[in-house]
Structure 1
Amino acid sequence: MIDFRSTTHSPTRFITGLPASSFFMGCLLGGLVLATLADSTLGRKNMLLLSCLMMSLSSFTTVFSSNIWIYSALRFINGFGRATVGTSSLVLATELVGKRWRGQVGRKEEAVKTLKSMAANALTSSFSNVLVQQESMNDNIYTSIKIMLNKEWAAQRLAAVMATCFGIGMVYYGMPLALGNLSVNVYLGVTLNALFELPTSLITFFFIGKINRKDSLLGFTILSGVCSVLCLVMGRVRPSLQIAMELISFFSACGAFNMSLIYTLELFPTCVRNSAVSMTRQALVLGGVFGPLLVAAGRKNDLISFGVFGIVIGVCGLPLIGLPDTRGGTICDTMDEEELKQNQGAAAATPTLV
């Protein structure tokens, strides 16, 4: 970056922020363009391979950048490929299929023949009336998003988790940048933030099977918001406790970050899961775009940074109240199966008159 500054007459602040902004813009655009390809045309594995290839080539070519504009363009391409790596890996890890069943999807006639050979003679006649119909696939890459938007319950779930992830992303990406606004050594603050981020992953790994997803995510967002506001208050009352409130707020945001991806993964059926997780990831990145702006504006007034952080993540977590919890539930493959599970749950919850 120092070498690039000498090759242009643009303001230093613009030059410093251009590559980072290009990377985040690439993440946003890549998530919109590439996300649905994993659910439709390319699939999870091919999309992951393509993303890694784009990141590798763009990173290697960065060495030969001669000016800031080429460097920023390569950072944009790197972010474009980076957008689907996390979501494709996460979804692919939950859809592992044994070698025995690979390549068997869609071969319904052979499935019926196998059932006939296994069933008793008295039951084979019932298979003659089985209608085998191949589902028509739409080649439109945005089919998954259209399917979710056409279903009211899916659209409500997607809007709720995206709103929550927007607030989480703003705090997760913006809070470490705001350490320079606190009355504490910046290097010490960055070190403590890094040390506090590691336990959140371990806690999620060991306790994910014992805690409710929705309640935990809602609790993390509220705690992060409250501590962020308290960080603002402590700066005026007791500055020594300001860093403690910041660490608790960031710790809660990290826990909410991990829990939001797991909750979204279990909230949507397989046919649209990759697109749903990608859209929530987009909301996280979009929140991260606004974080640095608030930090820069908050250098003269902490209310603009920590105050807004606390209010946004707290308010954005409220839509989770209307969503179901997914702990211990079955993960469906299609939208029809998910609707059937909802109807069965509603029927079971309805009291019957004797």
Structure 2
Amino acid sequence: MAVNEALEKDSLFSPFQSIIVSTLSAPITLVATHSLMQIFTAAVPPYNCQSNLTLEDPYLPKDSCNRYISLLSNDTEACKQGEIKYDLSLYTSTIVSEWDLVCEREWMKELAQSTYMAGVLVGAIIYGTLADRFGRRIVLLTCLLQIASMGTGAAFSPNFSAYCIFRFLTGMGICGLVINDLSLTMEWIPKKYRPTVSIIQGACLSIGQIILAGVAYAITDWRWLQLTLSLPYFIFPILIWWVPESYRWLVLRKRTQQALFNLNRAARINGKKEGTFVTLEMLTHETEKNSTKASSKPTPFDLFRTPGMRKVTIGLSMSWFSSSFSFFALAMDIQRFGFSLHLLQVIFGSTELPLRILGTIIAAYVGRRYAVSLFLVLSGVFILCSLAIPSDLKLLHLSVTVLAKGFLGSSIVCAYLYTGELFPTVLRQTGMGFTNMMMRLGAVVAPLAMMTKVYAPFLPLVIFGVVPILCGLPILWLPETLNSQLLDTVEEVEAR
């Protein structure tokens, strides 16, 4: 686009760009609180079957699905639903204690998280395509309201089925928020500042994990925790309402007057005289140039129609799948270390923050594809190395796991930047949606891989270590986008 040259003169600290980044980064801060909320809302308190024995009785087995018939014999009987007694000294209430998701109903706890991830997966399919058709801004506002209303609904769920439905719809909104928020930010920011913006928004994702630990420590009832982390999303649409639609998308949809209005608005905020920044003739020229290239409505099939798009889509899908596959497996299984969940969540979030900054710096100065590939391979190596650590060295095992999860988080942040730059504007949200769908598919499949420990205790870690390595290496064959302009059409991708 010819207008790119005019926009490149802006700084990240220009008033308009500063407001855009600040406003669009705010809702990203609470994304991790919803994605990882079930660590606390579905925590399993110590429990026993109700009987004439007390919870502290040394003869009563802890976390057992059976109870003694009497103290005179070792005979036991299976505990029935409604007869389980929980120690609520640490957690006032969780979905586990409220709906008895233990013993033969234990699988329902994992179902709740898988349902949320399935919603995220569906959201990637729906909201990516809708954003390329109707615009980033309107879809973003819709997703924010969906998160607020469905998250609040989950807090008042009368039963487990209703809870799963509300969490599914919340997951849809979360994915739509992420892919459209990051892309809308990128399309308004000069190319030289994209890595810096990636650092800022990656830091917001990590800070969200720390916020979750703090709020969960203060609020021990799952319904109040769910409500507290959902209500802010009623405020975010008021802030986002100020953000203008992407001028790139408007030009490709032949809405030249609206694109000019938005660009002149940005110019006025930055203190530039209207008419000297971008003219109607410049935008009309861009519209005519792209009129035949962007006339059809985008569909996910367009991601595979041409060789260049096919190569980009498959390579990025492998990266997204593997990073999410291993990341959520490590993130949701922190209770196995035996330490405080709140402390572990702070440690994981605090460690990810500097690693994500490091990853973005490497992406900015070495290259996007090298950063994504490097962190995927490193994470796989660290996970495999954890297999050699004796089980009694829990602190060392925790340290290696924290680094592995941190490298996976760095890979995800770099992949967001890389994905937005590889896909053209006409298919950017469709591509972001599809790759995010593959990301969430990895999160959905991860619990299935955990089940392989039935055959061998070490097998899940082998799988979670090998997959990122195998999927990280093909990234090196994708085009590099360092210091490159964003492309607008499929033809430009094929000519790259």
Q: Which interval holds the TM-score relative to the shorter structure?
A: 0.7 to 0.9
Could you give the per-residue CA deviations for residues 34-68 of structure 1, whole angstroms, max 9, x where no partner exists? 2111111x210011011111111112223432111
After superposition, where does 1:1-354 map in structure 2 within 5 Å?
1-2=95-96, 4-5=98-99, 11-40=104-133, 42-96=134-188, 106=254, 134-135=291-292, 137-139=295-297, 143-182=298-337, 185=339, 187=341, 189-204=344-359, 206=361, 208-235=363-390, 241-298=396-453, 301-340=456-495, 342=496
* SS across alignment from 1:309: helix
Question: Contact (CA 8 Å) 2:122, 2:172: kept in 1 or not?
Answer: yes
Deviates more, 1:84-93 or 1:23-32: 23-32
Question: Contact (CA 8 Å) 2:309, 2:494: kept in 1 or not?
Answer: no
Question: Contact (CA 8 Å) 1:181, 1:302: kept in 2 or not?
Answer: no
Question: Contact (CA 8 Å) 2:363, 2:370: kept in 1 or not?
Answer: no
Question: Contact (CA 8 Å) 2:112, 2:164: kept in 1 or not?
Answer: yes
Aligned-pair distance for 1:155?
A: 0.8
Could you give the per-residue CA deviations for residues 264-294 of structure 1, whole angstroms, max 9, x where no partner exists? 1111211111111121211111111122333
**Against the structure 1 CA distance between its residues 323 and 16, is the aligned structure 2 distance closer, same or farther, given a 3 Å change threshold?**
same
Aligned-pair distance for 1:133?
A: 9.3
Measure, in 2, the Cα distance between the counterparts of 1:21 and 1:297.
17
The structure showing larger relative contact order (alpha-carbon pairs under 8 Å, at least 6 residues apart) is 1
Q: Which amino acid aligns with 1:94?
A: M
* SS across alignment from 1:35: helix
* Number of aligned residues: 313
**Against the structure 1 CA distance between its residues 107 and 52, is the aligned structure 2 distance closer, same or farther, given a 3 Å change threshold?**
closer
Could you give the per-residue CA deviations for residues 48-105 of structure 1, whole angstroms, max 9, x where no partner exists? 0111111111122234321111111111111122221111011111223998x96776
Q: Which amino acid aligns with 1:48?
A: L
Cα RMSD of the aligned pairs, angstroms, is 3.1
Q: Which amino acid aligns with 2:116?
A: F
Aligned-pair distance for 1:194?
A: 2.1
Identity value in percent: 21
Q: Which amino acid aligns with 1:93?
A: T
**Against the structure 1 CA distance between its residues 237 and 4, is the aligned structure 2 distance closer, same or farther, given a 3 Å change threshold?**
closer
**Against the structure 1 CA distance between its residues 70 and 335, is the aligned structure 2 distance closer, same or farther, given a 3 Å change threshold?**
same
Gapped regions of structure 2 (runs ≥ 5): 1-94, 190-242, 257-287
Q: Which amino acid aligns with 1:137?
A: S
Deviates more, 1:166-175 or 1:276-285: 276-285
Question: Contact (CA 8 Å) 1:149, 1:155: kept in 2 or not?
Answer: yes
Measure, in 2, the Cα distance between the counterparts of 1:132 and 1:153.
21
Measure, in 2, the Cα distance between the counterparts of 1:34 and 1:48.
9
Measure, in 1, the Cα distance between the counterparts of 2:465 and 2:124.
27
Measure, in 1, the Cα distance between the counterparts of 2:98 and 2:308.
50
Could you give the per-residue CA deviations for residues 202-259 of structure 1, whole angstroms, max 9, x where no partner exists? 3345554223111111111111111110001123696653223222211211111111
Q: Which structure's residues are more often helix, by fraction?
A: 1
Question: Contact (CA 8 Å) 2:127, 2:433: kept in 1 or not?
Answer: no
Aligned-pair distance for 1:16?
A: 2.0
TM-score scaled by length of structure 1 = 0.78
Question: Contact (CA 8 Å) 1:181, 1:299: kept in 2 or not?
Answer: no
Measure, in 2, the Cα distance between the counterparts of 1:241 and 1:2.
30
Measure, in 1, the Cα distance between the counterparts of 2:476 and 2:289.
41
Q: Which amino acid aligns with 2:182?
A: L
**Against the structure 1 CA distance between its residues 92 and 161, is the aligned structure 2 distance closer, same or farther, given a 3 Å change threshold?**
same
Measure, in 1, the Cα distance between the counterparts of 2:405 and 2:483.
28
Measure, in 2, the Cα distance between the counterparts of 1:9 and 1:195.
32
Measure, in 1, the Cα distance between the counterparts of 2:442 and 2:150.
25
Aligned-pair distance for 1:305?
A: 2.0
Q: Which amino acid aligns with 1:337?
A: E
TM-score scaled by length of structure 2 = 0.57
Aligned-pair distance for 1:9?
A: 11
Measure, in 1, the Cα distance between the counterparts of 2:332 and 2:251.
50
Question: Contact (CA 8 Å) 1:55, 1:81: kept in 2 or not?
Answer: yes
Deviates more, 1:67-76 or 1:194-203: 194-203
